[in-house]
Amino acid sequence: MTAVPRPMPTEAAILRFLEVCDSFYPPDAVSASIEQQRQWYDALCRHFDLPLPEGMRTEDRVVMNRIPIRRYRPATLRTATCLLYLHGGGFVVGSLESHHAICAEIAEEAGAELISVDYRLAPEHRWPAQTDDCFAVLKQLIAAGKTVVLIGDSAGGNLAAGLAVRAKEEELTGIVGQVLIYPALGGDLVSGSYQEMAEAPGLTTADVGYYRAILQAPSDDPVAAPLVQASCAGLPPAFITVANFDPLRDDGRNYAARLAQAGVEVWFREEPQMVHAWLRARHMSDGAHEGFKALCDAVSRFAGSN
């Protein structure tokens, strides 16, 4: 039986990016202990860290006596809308530090205050701890009179989409947009990109299954798996960006289609040469740089600062 070739991009900078990632975070990382995975991931994130934009101020706080957050405030504010960022990492790794530079740059580009949430991680805390933490922060912002743009990458994209669903269910208003970056939205793991990109670099379908098993979220709950909701009508406008070389690609594709069919304003962008987690390549890859600019433009449009 002939082996199926591993799907790989051809952009030279992305290939170099993958080599760097593999040197810090091995392709078989999920077979290691949780502690080791977090050490590897933290080292990878530190490697790609950059100085914050000039004049950017940050403040760490604890919300409701239990949820750490980090507030980013650029030197020039162009909107009163707040950005709520939920980091990726499979619900297992990631922190305020892992996405520090990414959050600062988005806040700077949008001219908006941004709040990053250090939600509880699995396996120490199973679902719905993660969405509960993020929803508590969202409700506090809206109670303070803020309008909010939800932003999340990968697992954070799942959380952001789920918060929009929760807000609709609870008739909570104030979300003016959702920006979902290669989000995990509850696809079936066996068809479409889950099959075509099962062995994609950076994230495999087996990896996605591993993270789901650890989180233990119900597959039939639309907050945990937004693709299963009966109707997407009434959700806030969305910008969804996916990577071609990613088993999660069709989650974003299909969700964009569902939103559009329900009459929700949606912008969809697919990066043809990108892999999962390409945000970290934004300063070394032309494709990632262009994708990041489009993402920031969408955030600015939703926040009313463009």
Look up the CATH architecture of domain 16-303. 3-Layer(aba) Sandwich (3.40)
Catalytic residue among 87, 99, 100, 276: 276
Contact 114, 72 (CB under 8 A): yes
Catalytic residue among 118, 133, 246, 250: 246
State the pLDDT at residue 6.
83
Q: Considering the entire predicted model, what is its pTM?
A: 0.97
Active site residue 154: yes
Contact 115, 141 (CB under 8 A): yes
Q: How far is CA 303 from CA 242, 260, 275, in A?
A: 21, 21, 27
Peptide bond preceding 123 in cis form (omega within 30 of 0): yes
State the pLDDT at residue 186.
97
Question: What are 71's two structure tokens?
Answer: 């507030």
Active site residue 276: yes
Question: What are 23's two structure tokens?
Answer: 């040197």
Contact 204, 30 (CB under 8 A): no
Domain ranges within the chain, ordered by starting residue: 16-303
State the pLDDT at residue 4.
58
Q: List pLDDT tens digits, range 152-163.
A: 999 999 999 999
What is the residue-averaged pLDDT of the chain? 96
> What mean pLDDT comes out for the span 223-249?
98
How far is Cα 76 from Cα 268, in angstroms, rounded to an integer? 29
CB neighbours of residue 257 within 10 Å = 15
Using the predicted structure, report yes or no on whether residue 149 has a pLDDT greater than 60: yes
Active site residue 246: yes
**Above pLDDT 90, what percent of the chain?**
97
Q: List pLDDT tens digits, range 14-58.
A: 999 999 999 999 999 999 999 999 999 999 999 999 999 999 999
State the pLDDT at residue 1.
42
